[in-house]
């Protein structure tokens, strides 16, 4: 029974609490017990606040008994990525260089919204150094492992978040994404994760392309979490006007009559693995079977746009890395340190040139997607690679099928579309027009319903 509680959906948890068939305290205890058993194998959480979580669960239980819950997430166990500030918890951002920083004293907007909704904050999840690689490799946290195959990578940089929801170490998680960091772990771990439209979810320190996004085992749960963390916060001066809608209700519209482009070659980067391609084509056929019109889509790029994106991110990364003293810099993962050092001494002309090129990438992406209601693409072109690798062999440091849609500010959802011949998950990425977060969730839910249930990870 304890394990079953850890895999109950958020909707079922709320129903159980309301009918007094379940207690937030027993659910949180079950999750904490499971963390003690499973986390040593997968290394998803580096900080667990058992005492605080149980205290919050007791208060939640009292609210449910009084018939006054604070919403659908009241009493639901949630984890938060290392790089998101949570009052009373550390935020070393995955690196030994910051291992001694004091605990935060204030919640970042996503954490604040969770507390207001009555969610139970279980702890913080692992990430690579400064979030600069799409891997579960960290100088501080060690190696986070894929629950489908412990020798494989869970993706990054929201590594632990993806593993936590896949293995029942929390019903929901919040990650961040500037080049695929919510979607890649969701794809590699067989779960669902949304990179919202830029500005949809308020963050504490906004910068170009960066979003916080909901991660869960199903699209419906992603929708519930988005409704909470997208609520307004004055601290994010880039935030969109609050869209006060029921994202869960919006998932029930189906896809009949929608026109979708199938993008299997974006024009640069590693070619799509045959096993990944087969799952994507099967997913497109399934959507066609429930009423969508699917059309092959031409590559968006004729040359590689990643160098300009890299320069932009290096320019942002350098101030944080540059503020470290020489001893601290030596503690940063070597691949990340080398990356950050490329931002030192960047001239205004170099940065301006990079930003002009980034604008051109954005223009091309928006124009290419404009003729379709939605675009279907792989989240990752390859299967999960070795757990100790910083990025795919022969690949680039950022995922070609992800970062262009950060630059274009479009919502993009990753949902599992089955397993390869090696038994590893494949992510179907559903990309919508700017601001159409509800639409990508609707398509994802329709696909999930047509696909049916998937098995749990081998090591869950």
Q: What is the per-residue pLDDT across 115-155, written as a single tens digit (0 to 9) for each?
A: 999 999 999 999 999 999 999 999 999 999 999 999 999 99
Tokens 């869970």 -> residue: 154
Q: Round to whole Å and give the CA distance between 228 and 284.
A: 31
Q: Round to whole Å and give the CA distance between 340 and 354.
A: 16
Q: Contact at 8 Å (CB) between 81 and 161?
A: yes
Q: Round to whole Å and give the CA distance between 457 and 149.
A: 8
The predicted pLDDT at position 459 comes to: 84
Q: Is 293 exposed, middle or buried (0-12, 13-18, 19+ CB in 10 A)?
A: middle
Q: Contact at 8 Å (CB) between 121 and 115?
A: yes
* Strand bridging mode 259-262 / 293-296: parallel
Q: Round to whole Å and give the CA distance between 35 and 120.
A: 15
Q: Round to whole Å and give the CA distance between 202 and 319.
A: 22
The predicted-structure confidence for 285-324, as pLDDT tens digits, reads as follows 999 999 999 999 999 999 999 999 999 999 999 999 999 9
3-state SS class at 147 = coil
Q: Contact at 8 Å (CB) between 428 and 448?
A: no
The predicted-structure confidence for 268-278, as pLDDT tens digits, reads as follows 999 999 999 99
Q: What does the DSSP assignment read for 264-323?
A: S--SSSSPPPHHHHHHHHHHHHHHHHTT-EEEE---S-SS--HHHHHHHHHHHHHHHHHT
Q: Round to whole Å and give the CA distance between 394 and 270.
A: 8
DSSP 8-state symbol, 45: E
Catalytic residues: 81, 157, 181
Strand partners, 174: 80, 214
Over residues 79-84, the mean pLDDT reads: 98
Q: Is 300 exposed, middle or buried (0-12, 13-18, 19+ CB in 10 A)?
A: buried
Q: Is the peptide bond before 157 cis (omega within 30 degrees of 0)?
A: yes
Length of the chain: 460
| Secondary structure of 394-418 as H, E, C letters | CCCCCCCCCHHHHHCCCCEEEEEEE
274-289 vs 437-451: helix crossing angle, rounded to 10? 100
The predicted-structure confidence for 340-359, as pLDDT tens digits, reads as follows 999 999 999 999 999 999 99
The predicted pLDDT at position 1 comes to: 61
- Kindly report the pTM of this predicted structure: 0.98
The predicted-structure confidence for 28-78, as pLDDT tens digits, reads as follows 999 999 999 999 999 999 999 999 999 999 999 999 999 999 999 999 999
348-370 vs 306-322: helix crossing angle, rounded to 10? 130
Q: Round to whole Å and give the CA distance between 332 and 97.
A: 6
Both tokens of 145, joined, read 């492992």
CA distances from 374 to 213, 335, 412, 434 (A): 19, 35, 10, 11
Asked if the model's pLDDT at residue 398 lies above 80, the reply is no
All domains of the chain in start order, with CATH: 2-251 (3.90.1300.10), 257-305+350-441 (3.90.1300.10)
The predicted-structure confidence for 4-19, as pLDDT tens digits, reads as follows 999 999 999 999 999 9
Task: Give the angle subtended at the CA of 254 by the CAs of 250 and 258, to the nearest 5°.
Answer: 110
Q: At 397, is the pLDDT very low, low, confident or very high (cuts 50, 70, 90)?
A: low
Over residues 152-164, the mean pLDDT reads: 98
């Amino acid at each position: 029974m304890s394990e079953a509680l850890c895999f109950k959906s958020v909707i079922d948890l709320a129903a159980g609490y309301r009918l007094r068939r379940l207690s937030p305290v027993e659910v949180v205890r079950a999750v904490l017990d499971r963390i003690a058993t499973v986390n040593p194998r997968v290394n998803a959480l580096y900080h667990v606040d058992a005492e605080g979580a149980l205290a919050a669960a007791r208060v939640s239980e009292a609210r449910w008994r009084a018939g006054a819950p604070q919403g659908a997430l009241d009493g639901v166990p949630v984890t938060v990525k290392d790089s998101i500030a949570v009052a009373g918890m550390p935020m070393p951002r995955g690196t030994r260089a910051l291992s001694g920083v004091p605990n935060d004293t204030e919640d970042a907007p996503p954490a604040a919204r969770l507390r207001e909704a009555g969610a139970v904050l279980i702890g913080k999840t692992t990430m690579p150094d400064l979030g600069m690689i799409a891997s579960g490799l960290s100088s501080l946290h060690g190696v986070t492992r894929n629950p489908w195959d412990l020798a494989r990578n869970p993706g990054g940089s929201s590594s632990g978040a993806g593993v936590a929801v896949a293995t029942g170490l929390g019903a929901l998680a919040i990650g961040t994404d500037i080049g695929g960091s919510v979607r890649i772990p969701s794809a590699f771990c067989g779960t669902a994760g949304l990179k919202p439209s830029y500005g949809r979810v308020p963050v504490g320190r906004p910068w170009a392309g960066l979003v916080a996004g909901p991660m869960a085992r199903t699209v419906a749960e992603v929708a519930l979490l988005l409704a909470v963390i997208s609520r307004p916060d004055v601290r994010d001066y880039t935030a969109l006007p609050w869209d006060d809608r029921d994202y869960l209700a919006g998932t029930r519209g189906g896809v009949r009559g929608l026109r979708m482009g199938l993008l299997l070659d974006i024009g640069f980067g590693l070619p799509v693995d045959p096993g990944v391609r087969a799952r994507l084509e099967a997913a497109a056929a399934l959507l066609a079977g429930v009423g969508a019109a699917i059309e092959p889509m031409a590559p968006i790029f004729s040359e590689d746009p990643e160098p300009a994106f890299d320069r932009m991110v290096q320019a942002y990364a350098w101030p944080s890395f540059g503020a470290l003293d020489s001893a601290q810099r030596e503690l940063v993962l070597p691949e990340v340190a080398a990356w950050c050092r490329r931002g030192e001494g960047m001239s205004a002309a170099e940065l301006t040139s990079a930003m002009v090129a980034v604008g051109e990438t954005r223009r091309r992406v928006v124009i290419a997607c404009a003729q379709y209601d939605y675009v279907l693409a792989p989240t990752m072109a390859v299967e999960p690679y070795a757990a100790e690798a910083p990025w795919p062999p022969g690949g680039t440091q950022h995922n070609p099928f992800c970062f262009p849609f950060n630059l274009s500010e479009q919502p993009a959802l990753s949902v599992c579309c089955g397993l390869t011949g090696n038994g590893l998950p494949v992510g179907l990425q559903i990309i919508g027009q700017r601001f159409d977060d509800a639409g990508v969730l609707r398509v994802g839910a329709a696909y999930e319903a047509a696909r049916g249930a998937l098995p749990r990870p081998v090591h869950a």
